[in-house]
Chain A
């Protein structure tokens, strides 16, 4: 009896602790908390993208929770750092599913992250929706993997349209999933331009930061245009800075992608980046979205690296995923079924759908650097 008296408070504490995570609203109806696993690069070269996407989510998730308050549903984002690396993304996914119990993942953001977690989603115990992965290898990688990003092969085709205007062209690529995929797609798309000769095709290992000998090798081939294909962050900045060091080498057209949309990168070598052609996501001028972006920037910080498209795709991903979970629960199989059969409206498009693809249909646009700023080319 003595022991039971002492064990009772312990039992009570355990029961209360077990109930602690289930909060209640004013009407004493239990609120169901659903964990959304989020995998993004929160450190490393691509950290700017992850941190800024996190700002969008932290700004927008409370609004979504307000929306589903009446249904007694609360979404909680659990962030894990994928470091833009396959190994780290896999560890992050395992932690999110095994420890946090998340069944729906938003991410990865980098293609390296998303492609690495693809095999782990195949059995349907977890579903992942990316807002930023564009590598065309995602197509068919897993039935439980989707992305709202534009596609690399669409961008590569547009890049080929631009580089195909010149007689000779060189490409400098970094060896990582994204840039290797982009190089492959671009080389394929360039077959449509037999009059353009690829005079240099240089690659450098991930983590390299001295490109001077590579640039000298490209300079020797005297190309009319150079397609810069490095990773976002410091490689892209170092590459253009070291290109600018060669003062007597001019008269070529620089062509690149999203990594040079960042004002910080352009500022590193303003004279050299002037006139650069950038192929990127379709331009979005939805005033409502632009107002949200402005508000996020005012309250949470800059979104300059993320840009308008990925701000929109992050919000759309949250909207699509949470609306389906609110309706069907966080069962990956049910959510997938809805994703592949329905149409959704969002900021990136009025017709977001995954009926025939792991990608939603999108295009690409051409921009040009003028007076240090990126402008849509008419």
Chain B
């Protein structure tokens, strides 16, 4: 039973990372930029929901408000990174994104303070089977993760939309000559990514607590799984997510007695695993070789 409970807890944590890795992957697909501000953008959206709920707005209106905030953040991100995308400057683009993330975190701290807040007061509702239990936000996380992973796996590999994304990323001039509007595609992806990151921000902080810096550890993990999974392989990203979240959780959870490891070891194990994977598979788990630029 202990094993299954640890597995369930780890799956929720892993799916939170996967849910953020999806928008990170999408943005990278169309712009070649690691949009690290997505973590802070998601938390900013969660704070927007907190603001609306604590101002006694109706739940529906609060959700719409936070969704609008998330889309606006996606819109702003696209315009801030536009020049880097056009010039294919991935490193300056990443730095601009990182700076945007820090600005968003600082804004949250200034507006709401740095002390933690709760989106839901009291004990979270749980669903139990025998000795196993999971919180309702945990169930939503797992369901959303499964649906989105499957959806994007199909969308990216089996539909014209996916091919359009790849063609825009590969060569937007060629894509434009074929009648595709690269700008619209990219803008759409950035706004969708903002929305997805907002959803992750809300669902993650609903399960724990709302703090301005909550997005950073999550986006770092999502960034690592993106690199280890393979920048051109969504399947690789999914597998890497669970490899890099489940294994450390199990090592820590199952350790005991004479070799007990505590939660402080988690990131060390994550980085060790990522290093090992990248040493053996430098282009990602399922990519044996890539075309050089």
Contact = CB atoms under 8 A, between A and B. Distances in A.
Interface of A: 43-45, 47-48, 83, 175, 201-205, 207-210, 212-214, 216-217, 219-221, 233-234, 237-238, 241, 244-248, 268-269, 272
Which of B124, B209, B252, B253 has its CB near the most chain A CB atoms (within 10 A)? B209
Given A213-B6, A220-B256, 14 more contacts: A44-B115, A201-B260, A202-B263, A205-B264, A207-B213, A207-B217, A217-B256, A221-B256, A241-B122, A245-B126, A248-B128, A248-B133, A268-B122, A269-B123
Given A83-B114, A268-B121, A269-B123, A213 B249 contact: yes
B6 A216 contact: yes
Contact of B263 (A204, A238, A241, A247): A204
B36 to A, nearest CB: 18
Nearest to B116: A234
Contact of B122 (A44, A204, A269): A269
Given A216-B5, A268-B123, A205 B113 contact: no
B262 A202 contact: yes
Contact of B113 (A47, A209, A272): A47
B207 interface: yes
B28 to A, nearest CB: 27
B208 A244 contact: no
A277 B9 CA distance: 29
A237 B2 CA distance: 24
Interface in B1-15: 2, 5-6, 9-10, 13
A246 B133 contact: yes
12 contacts: A47-B113, A47-B114, A207-B213, A209-B208, A210-B207, A213-B252, A216-B9, A220-B2, A234-B116, A238-B208, A248-B128, A248-B133
Contacts of B126: 245, 247
Contacts of A241: 122-124
B138 to A, nearest CB: 9
A44 B78 CA distance: 32
Contacts of B10: 213
A248 B126 CA distance: 12
A175 B6 CA distance: 22
B131 interface: yes
A43 B209 contact: no
A52 to B, nearest CB: 13
B133 A205 contact: no
A202 B249 CA distance: 14
B211 interface: yes
Nearest to A202: B262
Interface string B165-209: 000000000000000000000000000000000000000000111
Contacts of A214: 262-263
Binding site secondary structure of chain A? mixed
Which 3 residue pairs spanning A and B have beta carbons closest together? A234-B116, A209-B208, A204-B263
A189 to B, nearest CB: 21
Nearest to B122: A268
Contacts of A203: 262-264
A234 B214 CA distance: 13
Given A47-B113, A212-B9, A244 B123 contact: yes
A198 to B, nearest CB: 11
B135 interface: yes
A245 B6 contact: no
Given A43-B115, A216-B6, A234 B211 contact: yes
A206 to B, nearest CB: 9
Nearest to A216: B5
B249 A45 contact: no
B162 to A, nearest CB: 33
A210 B214 CA distance: 11
Contact of B264 (A44, A175, A245, A248): A175
Contact of B123 (A220, A221, A245): A245
B121 A205 contact: no
B129 to A, nearest CB: 11
A244 B123 CA distance: 7
Contact of A45 (B13, B116, B135): B116
Contacts of A202: 262-263
A279 B249 CA distance: 33
A272 B128 CA distance: 18
Interface in B93-152: 109, 113-116, 118, 121-124, 126, 128, 131, 133, 135
B207 A43 contact: no
A234 B115 CA distance: 8
A47 B263 CA distance: 25
B5 A234 contact: no
B115 A210 contact: no
Given A202-B262, A203-B264, A209 B209 contact: yes
Contacts of B131: 248
A247 B249 CA distance: 22
Nearest to B264: A205
Contacts of B114: 43-44, 47, 83
Nearest to A220: B2
A204 B262 contact: yes
A202 B113 CA distance: 30
Nearest to B252: A213
Contact of A47 (B2, B115, B133, B252): B115
